[in-house]
Amino acid sequence: MSEPDFTSLQQRMLAEIAAKTVFATTSLGKAALDSRVMKALATVPRHAFVPIELRPCAYLDTPLPIGFGKTVSQPFIVAVMTDLLGVQPTDTVLEIGTGLGYQSAILAELAHRVFTVEIIEELAEQAAHRLADQGHANVEIRIGNGCHGWPEHAPFDKIIVTAAPELIPPALIYQLKAGGTMVIPAGLADGQQLIQLKKDAQGSVTTREIFQVLFSTLEDVDSP
């Protein structure tokens, strides 16, 4: 497919996200996502972050397989999670679950620095190449157990998790800066909820359930 074809499909994807946001107004508390988030989605070419054979499907509002039993998330979910995170230009963000780097690239458009952890070495290596090809120099990737976060660079202004633990890992809560926000799916496979977690200036934590989701399980095993 040509670049103009991708541009047209990307615009259609953005329109579909905007429409779905209106239908989710009750859950989200608003009828439109932040304009900076929508601009990032318009800027990052999703087709550069999916397997080449799936490029014609890149702008469908659906998750796509990326190998190893993993997927790149549905664009609407990427948009909502990014919006709930409330990333600012000065923020340092931790992402758990790099995949092929699509969410990382969205964050890179919005934040000062992005640190992202991927447990599968082959995916991390592919993501590094894809992010470099797109010029995202403010992303650093680590291969390891996402449940442990990245303590060397903590605390983080924002944390986003793209796989679901049953319970929110304590290490991630600890590594969230006072005043920070985490967005994470959590729960049993048949009852996962997308959760927005906030830590106030005194370190107290509050959570808000957004809506039910279905993510792959966040693996809690030793680093490769």
Please give the Cα distance from 192 to 31 (Å, whole number). Answer: 23
100 part of a folded domain? yes
User: Active-site residue among 73, 104, 204, 223?
Assistant: 73
- Is the predicted pLDDT of residue 78 greater than 70, yes or no? yes
Name residue, tokens 């796509």: 64
- Mean pLDDT across the chain: 95
User: Under a CB-based contact definition with an 8 Å cutoff, are residues 160 and 103 in contact?
Assistant: yes
Using 50, 70 and 90 to split pLDDT, how confident is the model at 3? confident
Given a cut of 80, whether residue 223 has pLDDT beyond it is no
For this structure, is 2 an active site residue? no
Please give the structure tokens belonging to residue 43.
Answer: 């800027």
CATH number for the domain harbouring residue 194: 3.40.50.150
Is 224 a residue whose pLDDT tops 90? no
Question: What letter represents residue 210's amino acid?
Answer: I
9: tokens are: 């499909």
The answer on pLDDT for 2 being more than 60 is: yes
pTM: 0.95
Report yes or no on 218 lying in a domain.
no
**What is the reported pLDDT for 1?**
65
User: Structural domain of residue 16, as residue ranges?
Assistant: 3-212
pLDDT (tens digit, 9 = 90+) per residue, 111-141?
Answer: 999 999 999 999 999 999 999 999 999 999 9
Instruction: Report yes or no on 106 lying in a domain.
Output: yes
Higher pLDDT, 91 or 221: 91
Ramachandran assignment for 25, one of left (phi > 0), alpha (psi -120 to 50 degrees), beta (any other): alpha
Instruction: Give the chain's domain count.
Output: 1
